Chain A
Amino acid sequence: MRSRPFLGAFVTPAALCAVALVAALLAILQYSVRMHVPGSLEPGDYTLANFVALLKPLYARVFFDTAWICLLTAFATLVAGYPVAYALVHTKRPFVKGLILIIVVTPLFLGEVVRTYSWIIVLGNTGFINSVLLMLGLIASPIQLLFTTIGVVLALVHVTLPVMVVMLAAALAHIDPAYERAAASLGASPLRAFLTVTLPLSTPGILAGVTTAFAWTFSAFATPQLIGGGRVNMVSNLVYQLGFASFNFPFAAALSVAGLVMTFALLGLIRLGTRRFENVTQH
Chain B
Amino acid sequence: MSSSRASSSAVSLNAVSKSFGAIAALKATSLDIRPGELMTLLGPSGCGKTTLLNIVAGFLSADAGDVAIEGQRVNDVPTFQRQIGMMFQSYALFPHMTVEANVGYGLKMRGMPRADIHRRVQDALVLVKLQGLEARKPSQLSGGQQQRIALARALVIEPKVLLLDEPFSALDKSLRGSMQIELKDIQRKLGIATIFVTHDQSEALSLSDRLAVMSEGVIRQVGTPHEVYADPADRFVASFIGDVNVIPGVIESLDDGRATIRVGNGHVGASRTHLADAAPGTPVDVFVRPEQITLAAPREEIPLTGKVHASVFQGGHTDVLVDVGVEGMSTVLVRLAGPAHVARWAKGAPVGVVFAVDTVLAFPKSG
Interface residues in chain A, defined as those with a beta carbon under 8 Å from any beta carbon in chain B: 176, 178-179, 181-190, 192-193, 196-197, 200-201, 280-283
User: Min CB distance, A116 to chain B, in Å?
Assistant: 40
Which B residues are CB-close (under 8 A) to A192?
109
Alpha-carbon distance between A188 and B86 when the two chains are bound, in angstroms: 13
Contact A185 to B105, CB < 8 A, known contacts A197-B94, A283-B139: no
Which A residues are CB-close (under 8 A) to B78?
184
Which B residues are CB-close (under 8 A) to A181?
57, 59, 79, 86, 88, 92
Q: Are B92 and A187 in contact (CB under 8 A)?
A: no
Alpha-carbon distance between A283 and B94 when the two chains are bound, in angstroms: 10
Given contacts A181-B57, A182-B94, A186-B85, 16 further A-B contacts (CB under 8 A): A178-B88, A178-B92, A181-B92, A183-B105, A184-B59, A184-B79, A185-B86, A186-B80, A186-B106, A186-B154, A187-B157, A192-B109, A201-B95, A280-B95, A280-B96, A283-B95
Q: Are A185 and B57 in contact (CB under 8 A)?
A: yes
User: Min CB distance, A25 to chain B, in Å?
Assistant: 39
- Name 19 interchain pairs, CB-CB below 8 A, sorted by A: A176-B90, A176-B92, A179-B92, A181-B59, A181-B86, A182-B94, A183-B109, A184-B78, A184-B79, A185-B80, A185-B86, A186-B80, A186-B106, A187-B83, A187-B109, A189-B80, A190-B80, A193-B80, A281-B96
At the interface, yes or no: B153 with Cβ under 8 Å from chain A?
Answer: yes
User: Min CB distance, A200 to chain B, in Å?
Assistant: 5
Which A residues are CB-close (under 8 A) to B94?
179, 182-183, 197, 201
Interface residues in B79-111 by Cβ distance below 8 A to A read 79-81, 83-86, 88-90, 92-96, 105-106, 109-110
User: Min CB distance, A259 to chain B, in Å?
Assistant: 36
Interchain CB contact (< 8 A) of B92 among A182, A188, A280, A282 = A182
Which A residues are CB-close (under 8 A) to B95?
201, 280-283
Which B residues are CB-close (under 8 A) to A189?
80
Alpha-carbon distance between A192 and B88 when the two chains are bound, in angstroms: 20
Alpha-carbon distance between A176 and B94 when the two chains are bound, in angstroms: 10
Q: Are A182 and B109 in contact (CB under 8 A)?
A: no
Q: Are B96 and A187 in contact (CB under 8 A)?
A: no
Kindly report which residue of chain B lies nearest to residue A283, judged by CB atoms: B139
Which B residues are CB-close (under 8 A) to A281?
95-96
Interface residues in chain B, defined as those with a beta carbon under 8 Å from any beta carbon in chain A: 57-59, 78-81, 83-86, 88-90, 92-96, 105-106, 109-110, 138-139, 153-154, 157, 163
Q: Are A185 and B84 in contact (CB under 8 A)?
A: yes
Q: Are B96 and A188 in contact (CB under 8 A)?
A: no
Alpha-carbon distance between A190 and B79 when the two chains are bound, in angstroms: 10
Alpha-carbon distance between A207 and B109 when the two chains are bound, in angstroms: 28
Kindly report which residue of chain B lies nearest to residue A189, judged by CB atoms: B80
Contact A186 to B90, CB < 8 A, known contacts A181-B59, A200-B96, A201-B96: no
Contact A186 to B139, CB < 8 A, known contacts A176-B92, A179-B92, A282-B95: no
Alpha-carbon distance between A176 and B88 when the two chains are bound, in angstroms: 11
Which A residues are CB-close (under 8 A) to B109?
183, 186-188, 192
Which A residues are CB-close (under 8 A) to B90?
176, 178
Kindly report which residue of chain A lies nearest to residue B106, judged by CB atoms: A186
Interchain CB contact (< 8 A) of B105 among A176, A178, A186, A283 = A186
Alpha-carbon distance between A200 and B96 when the two chains are bound, in angstroms: 8
User: Min CB distance, A198 to chain B, in Å?
Assistant: 10
Alpha-carbon distance between A182 and B154 when the two chains are bound, in angstroms: 9
Kindly report which residue of chain B lies nearest to residue A282, judged by CB atoms: B139
Alpha-carbon distance between A188 and B84 when the two chains are bound, in angstroms: 12
User: Min CB distance, B111 to chain A, in Å?
Assistant: 10
Alpha-carbon distance between A282 and B93 when the two chains are bound, in angstroms: 13
- Give the 8 A-B CB pairs with smallest separation, nearest first: A186-B106, A178-B92, A187-B109, A182-B92, A185-B86, A184-B79, A280-B96, A184-B80
User: Min CB distance, B150 to chain A, in Å?
Assistant: 8
Q: Are B80 and A182 in contact (CB under 8 A)?
A: no
Which B residues are CB-close (under 8 A) to A193?
80
User: Min CB distance, B107 to chain A, in Å?
Assistant: 9
Kindly report which residue of chain B lies nearest to residue A181, judged by CB atoms: B59
Kindly report which residue of chain B lies nearest to residue A193, judged by CB atoms: B80
Kindly report which residue of chain B lies nearest to residue A180, judged by CB atoms: B92
Which B residues are CB-close (under 8 A) to A183?
80, 94, 105, 109
User: Min CB distance, B287 to chain A, in Å?
Assistant: 39
Q: Are B139 and A187 in contact (CB under 8 A)?
A: no
User: Min CB distance, B218 to chain A, in Å?
Assistant: 26
Alpha-carbon distance between A196 and B58 when the two chains are bound, in angstroms: 20
Which A residues are CB-close (under 8 A) to B105?
183, 186, 188, 196
Which A residues are CB-close (under 8 A) to B58?
184
Alpha-carbon distance between A280 and B79 when the two chains are bound, in angstroms: 26
Q: Are B106 and A187 in contact (CB under 8 A)?
A: yes
Interchain CB contact (< 8 A) of A187 among B57, B59, B80 = B80
User: Min CB distance, B341 to chain A, in Å?
Assistant: 46
Kindly report which residue of chain A lies nearest to residue B59, judged by CB atoms: A181
Kindly report which residue of chain A lies nearest to residue B104, judged by CB atoms: A186
Kindly report which residue of chain A lies nearest to residue B57, judged by CB atoms: A185
Kindly report which residue of chain B lies nearest to residue A187, judged by CB atoms: B109
Residue of B83, B93, B105 with most chain A CB atoms under a 10 A cut-off: B105
Kindly report which residue of chain A lies nearest to residue B139, judged by CB atoms: A283
Which A residues are CB-close (under 8 A) to B83?
187
Kindly report which residue of chain A lies nearest to residue B111, judged by CB atoms: A187
Q: Are B96 and A182 in contact (CB under 8 A)?
A: no
Alpha-carbon distance between A193 and B105 when the two chains are bound, in angstroms: 10
User: Min CB distance, A194 to chain B, in Å?
Assistant: 12
Alpha-carbon distance between A193 and B78 when the two chains are bound, in angstroms: 13
Residue of A176, A186, A187, A193 with most chain B CB atoms under a 10 A cut-off: A186
Which B residues are CB-close (under 8 A) to A280?
95-96
User: Min CB distance, A195 to chain B, in Å?
Assistant: 11
